[in-house]
């Protein structure tokens, strides 16, 4: 089977996995990777607030949010979907990370746009991933040329996404630095490391900064942490 164009992975690796797992099982595994889990996690900054307090604040505004059973600083929102996305003529191509966010209900911002040919402010558009998968539908908030040249601001107001979640970056708690969207496995990585006060810790794949900041949280800011990444663009995001 020709996997190229279907999944965004190196073809050689896919062929070796197909030999090991079989075509049918590999297809199921890969398709499951294009869908979010049933829980979307955020990490509470325990240097600023207790997880229970943050959860209650969110619940007071009608949001469904729960504490993780194992990681005390982790909260999660149940994921709804999949939804049917309206298909329209014009498209905005988002990078892998932005497309994953739009897939789960986030708006699309200009730094995540790769291409938006012929798009004008007010147009109905589909947001698609680099391999052409439709992840959302919404309204363009700027011309396509602005999306790729200005490099900041809201590009597409997403009205329908494949899956539904609160728009995390728009939550008051996010803007106050009380929560950070981070997967549970990423949180567990820092916990398993067992960082201690006074240590020198090096993160060689740090951007966008989730694990490095979690480590700083675990040692209450009392360790020296060096954060590196091969991608200059991702380092810029981490420094914001």
Q: Where are the domains of the chain?
A: 1-33, 39-79+167-181, 90-161, 184-239
Provide CATH code, domain 90-161: 2.30.130.10
pLDDT tens for each residue of 44-81: 999 999 999 999 999 999 999 999 999 999 999 999 99
Q: How far apart are CA 174 and CA 46, in angstroms?
A: 13
Question: Contact 206/182 with Cβ under 8 angstroms?
Answer: no
pLDDT tens for each residue of 81-97: 999 999 999 999 999 88
Total residues found in the chain within this entry: 240
Q: What is the mean pLDDT of residues 146-165?
A: 94
The two beta strands, 124-128 and 90-94, are parallel
Question: What is the reported pLDDT for 54?
Answer: 98
Q: Quick one: pLDDT band at residue 7, thresholds 50, 70, 90?
A: low
Quick one: residue 141, left, alpha or beta (phi over 0 = left, psi -120 to 50 = alpha)? alpha
CB neighbour class for 37 (10 Å; exposed up to 12, middle 13-18, buried from 19) = exposed
The domain 39-79+167-181 is placed in CATH, from the list 3.30.420.40, 3.40.190.10, 3.30.70.1170, 1.10.10.10, at: 3.30.70.1170
Which pTM value belongs to this model? Answer: 0.82
pLDDT tens for each residue of 20-51: 999 999 988 888 877 888 999 999 999 999 99
pLDDT tens for each residue of 196-227: 999 999 999 998 899 999 999 999 999 999 99
Q: Where do we find the tokens 């993780």?
A: 68
Does residue 36 sit in helix, strand or coil?
coil
State the chain's mean pLDDT as an integer: 92
């Amino acid at each position: 089977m020709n996997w190229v164009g279907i999944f965004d992975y190196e073809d050689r690796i896919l062929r070796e996995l197909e030999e090991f797992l079989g075509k049918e099982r590999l297809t199921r595994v890969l398709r499951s990777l294009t869908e979010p889990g049933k829980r979307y996690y955020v990490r509470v900054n325990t240097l600023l607030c207790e997880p229970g307090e943050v959860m209650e604040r969110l619940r007071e505004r009608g949001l469904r949010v729960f504490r993780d059973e194992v990681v005390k600083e982790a909260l999660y929102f149940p994921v709804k979907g999949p939804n049917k996305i309206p298909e329209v003529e014009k498209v905005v191509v988002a990078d892998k990370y932005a497309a994953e966010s739009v897939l789960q209900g986030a708006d699309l911002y200009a730094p995540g746009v790769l291409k938006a040919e012929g798009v004008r402010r007010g147009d109905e558009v589909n947001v698609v991933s680099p391999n052409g998968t439709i992840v959302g539908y919404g309204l363009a908030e700027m011309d396509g040329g602005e999306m790729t040249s200005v490099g900041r601001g809201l590009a597409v107001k997403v009205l329908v996404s494949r899956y539904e979640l609160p728009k995390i970056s728009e939550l008051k708690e996010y803007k106050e630095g009380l929560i950070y969207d981070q997967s549970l496995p990423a949180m567990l990585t820092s916990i398993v490391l067992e960082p201690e006060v006074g240590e020198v810790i090096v993160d060689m794949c740090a951007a966008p900064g989730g694990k490095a900041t979690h480590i700083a949280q675990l040692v209450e800011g009392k360790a020296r942490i060096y954060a590196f990444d091969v991608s200059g663009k991702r380092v810029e995001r981490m420094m914001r």
